[in-house]
Chain A
Amino acid sequence: MKIIIYISILMFGLADLFAQSISPSTESSNEITQIEKEISVVDFDAIKNILQKDKLDQSVQNKQNEVNTIQEEREKKKLQLYHYPSESDFWSFASELWLVRNAPLLKWDFNKPDYGIDISFQTVLETIGYYEKKFHVLLVNTPTLSHIALPTNNDETLFIISVPFIRTMDLTKLEISILMLEDFFRLEKGYLYQFVKTSELVEIFGKNFYDKGVNPAVVNQVLKKYSELIFQKGFNFQQQFEVTKRMDSVLRSHLKLWGAYNTLLNKIDQLVKTNLLYDNYNRIYPSPEMQIKWLTPKAPLI
């Protein structure tokens, strides 16, 4: 019987200890400490002479210094709550926020089979010598957006690919990977950053807004820029030329990949010329026909 009582006491003790360890701390850093209360209650100036006589003035000064340090620390902690994100934290957050806000339009929350894109793209990256590159792929169930790579932090890339776009052209895993590689180089060249990174955004990176108040318009403006580039404006001919030339130079020594890129561009060219659903594609990525010309080796002059 005694043993049972001892075990019960021990278990209650352990449970209490466990509960304490996972429950949030009740002590808040904003609470006024005992020493601050003492300093605020006692009027030391009124008893200055008595304190000097008892040689306690130095002790009071020490306490006052301690209170000042506590208050400075508290103020510092309070200010830290009012920071805008630094650039190193911003891009992943902004890209994800854009995806969340556009979820009903992009329709990415749907059941899909495993297309094996991760393994295929990993192989392509390794073949061309791009190692230790992390990537995320989000498949969308809409033709509104065909494909894009969005900026993130931590040396990662976030790819968005449309399943209807893949299905309409009956793309192979290798062709999807080549499409992703093109997006990867487009992102690497910084075209999206240049377009989205407004001067207002650059100004607020890592800044404190305790005095001015937060300006949510800056983030909304960035999200609008994302939408503008992805759905309306797209990339220009010069940018497309540079990306195509980059693809050409990287893939030229891997004939299988180069051939797949050529086939992919031909498939896209046919799609945009025949399918009305993708007539906007040329505006976003101009133009598959020109890309094929840029890619095709010039015939030697005889």
Chain B
Amino acid sequence: MKFYNYFHKLNGYLSIALIAVLFCSNSIWATEVSKHIGIFYYKNIFGHIHLNPTKDSVSLTTIACGHPLNVTDTFKSSGVDWFIVNIDKKKGYVLKEFVSNQKPLCFQEKYPKFFNSLNLDLTELYYWGRLYDQYVRGKSRVQ
């Protein structure tokens, strides 16, 4: 009888624990899937979506100015703000300062025929995107 009561109690605890685990896992899953900061647009002439949040990380893809990005989260690495974006069902990183929440007036959209006449090849598109990653930026301020 005593053994039966003990077993019954244990069963009750296990059920509660199981429900708690299910609830937690469900809420974590829900957070990952539903987190969505918004649609942002790339600002520079060309750019890269990186595999990791570093400027020298591998490029997942090259994007052009005005490209819409589905931003799912933010990430801070060594004092630099990154946006986590979904691109071709993959997670990538783009520098926060390179994107805007409003569609920018891009050079290639402002002067499309002139820009097309340059006949940029794939290597040049890649390098143009890398250029913004390689810049060291600064600004003097009023003291």
Chain A residues proximal to chain B, CB less than 8 Å: 21-22, 81-85, 89, 93, 96-97, 99-101, 103, 108-109, 111, 114-115, 117-119, 121-122, 125-126, 130-139, 209, 214, 216, 219
Contact = CB atoms under 8 A, between A and B. Distances in A.
28 contacts: A21-B39, A84-B111, A84-B114, A85-B107, A85-B110, A89-B110, A96-B45, A100-B127, A100-B128, A108-B134, A109-B127, A111-B56, A114-B136, A115-B136, A117-B138, A118-B138, A121-B138, A122-B141, A131-B140, A132-B140, A134-B138, A137-B135, A137-B137, A137-B138, A138-B135, A209-B114, A214-B113, A219-B118
Contact of A131 (B70, B110, B127, B141): B141
A183 to B, nearest CB: 14
Interface in B105-143: 107, 110-114, 117-120, 124, 127-128, 130-131, 134-143
B68 interface: yes
A188 B20 CA distance: 68
Contacts of A109: 127, 130, 134
The 7 closest A-B pairs by CB, nearest first: A118-B138, A125-B140, A137-B136, A214-B117, A136-B135, A103-B127, A100-B127
B131 A132 contact: no
A125 B139 CA distance: 9
Contacts, number: 100
A135 B137 CA distance: 6
A22 B68 contact: yes
A97 to B, nearest CB: 7
B13 to A, nearest CB: 31
Interface in B13-60: 39, 45, 56
Contacts of A103: 127, 130
Contact of A133 (B118, B120, B135, B140): B140
Given A131-B142, A214-B117, A89 B111 contact: yes
Interface of B: 39, 45, 56, 68, 70, 107, 110-114, 117-120, 124, 127-128, 130-131, 134-143
Contacts of B131: 96, 99-100, 108, 138
Nearest to B70: A22
Contacts of A134: 137-139
- Most chain B Cβ neighbours within 10 Å, of A97, A103, A138: A103
Contacts of B140: 122, 125-126, 130-133
Contacts of B130: 103, 109
Contact of A81 (B39, B107, B113, B119): B113
Given A89-B110, A109-B127, A216-B118, A119 B138 contact: yes
